[in-house]
Structure 1
Amino acid sequence: MHFPSLFSTFSFSLFLSTTTSALPTTSPSFILSNFTAAVGPNGPGSPSSVHFHLVDPRPAPYSLSVDCSIKVDTNSPTTDTIYRELYTQCGGDGDDAGFILTEGEIVVKRGWREESGAHTIYFARQGTYWDFSANGNATRTVDGSTMYTRTTDWEITVNSASSTT
């Protein structure tokens, strides 16, 4: 699946002390399941949505299982696309997880508070290109929208981390 890129840079700013953490010897992964993205025929402002289930399969206290979604409200100029510059929260208020979807990649973040009080965040960045014949599908609908679906779970490896105190 390929979404032509709307933007390619993200800015992250923290007002706390920030350090970049070394990842464990074996990088953890997040699992995205039931991934679907409906992209309207006219780009921004068209009825569009994205939905998936995010699982952090590590044992407690790190485990997490939440839904992530965006449904475009075509009547609101502030939510006219599924491609956003800021993270969209997954789950409820207590769940420290979110995602950014562009037309070329997805970035998933997952944070938690360490016993030391430090707030650690893992980031997993993955291109949205996949082999449709092996693990995905793209279907054009009657209204001209395209529905992208994953037919298998999507394992995304954590590739960066940060910690704040």
Structure 2
Amino acid sequence: MDTANTDSDLMISIIKSLAQAENESRSENIRWGIKQSAVSGRSKLYDRKCYGYKHDTERHLVIDEETSKNVKLIFDLYLSGQSVLGIIKDLERRKIPSPTGKEKWCKRTIDVMLSNEKYTGDVRLLKSRESETKYLSTDNNPAMISKKIFEAVQIEKRKRSNVIRIESGKQRKDRKYSSKMKL
């Protein structure tokens, strides 16, 4: 195709539009398949392994006794007032390797662990903000953390957060100014 020719430009635009439509259709089909497997309870995501669990011979989640102690420690440290960074320092001081086996823990790893209801035995699928439908499988796997402790952590996380949700989106509770910025 000659890109200097306006007819070629039109053809390229048509081809790009068709490719975009095909990608959107494929994406929608994949999302539909994920939702259908979640509804039927057949989704492999229900048995997706996370730190503190392992798979048995039948690919079901079971508690990994060695790493589950670390998960419980993280929840206990948070409820005792430790910050996420404080927990990281504590884990590294104790020489507890991260889920990937590294010496350094990632802040996001701890935050995700503290928000993962799988530790209570429940699994929630499609829980993103964009998804209007969520699927919950209760007693999906052995509980490592009681629902009471998990909920206490969620309440504490909301208390400590500097972000609140309002109708128009998110907003900071407090604005911290450097003394250099004050007039």
Q: Which has the higher strand share?
A: 1
TM-score by length of 2: 0.21
Compute the TM-score of the two structures, normalised by the length of structure 1: 0.22
Larger Rg: 2
Instruction: Decide which structure has greater helix share.
Output: 2
Larger relative contact order (Cα-Cα within 8 Å, sequence gap ≥ 6): 1
